[in-house]
Amino acid sequence: MCLSAQRHFSVTTSAPAAAREFGHAVIVTALAPAGWSLADDVGLVISELVTDAHDRGAAQADVNVDVHFDHVELRIVDDRPRELYGPADDIAARARQRILDTLADDLVTDMTSNGSARTVAELTVDPTHTRTLACEQKPV
């Protein structure tokens, strides 16, 4: 891993925008300017996942952004009620899912051992954009 950043949010109506700005700032800080276009995608994915947590009744969410030499891993852990875990079937949720399917190379939601919902999304990074970072397991 090259860089890891985490932030806790109270899931209010302003949380998606704040989480989007956080993710965007992490990527712009980490990557060479040529990689900054990824910041918009990362911000949008985070915003959609925090919006989903909000719509499902979560009060708190932790957003983690881990930059690796060839991908970014986003983890959102929220405290939505257990009965609201699982796929939503409304127009807004389906629209969010289409956005996430378009931007994320991999997307998995599961329950943690303590009952929190955890969503992990991965987005590909061009390794030339991370070449100046000190990364673990970076190819030579």
| Per-residue pLDDT tens over the stretch 2-16 | 899 999 999 999 999
Q: Are strands 71-78 and 60-67 parallel, antiparallel or unpaired?
A: antiparallel
Q: Is the pLDDT of residue 83 over 70?
A: no
Sign (positive or negative) of CA dihedral 97, 48, 73, 81:
negative
Cα separation, 112 vs 85, in Å, equals 11
Averaged pLDDT, 51-73: 94
Cα separation, 117 vs 97, in Å, equals 16
Query: Of 68, 58, 61, which Cα lies nearest the Cα of 30?
Result: 68
Q: Is the pLDDT of residue 140 over 60?
A: no
Q: What is the pTM of this model?
A: 0.90
End-to-end alpha carbon distance in the chain: 15
User: Mapping DSSP to helix (H, G, I), strand (E, B) and coil, where does residue 33 land?
Assistant: helix
Cα separation, 136 vs 124, in Å, equals 17
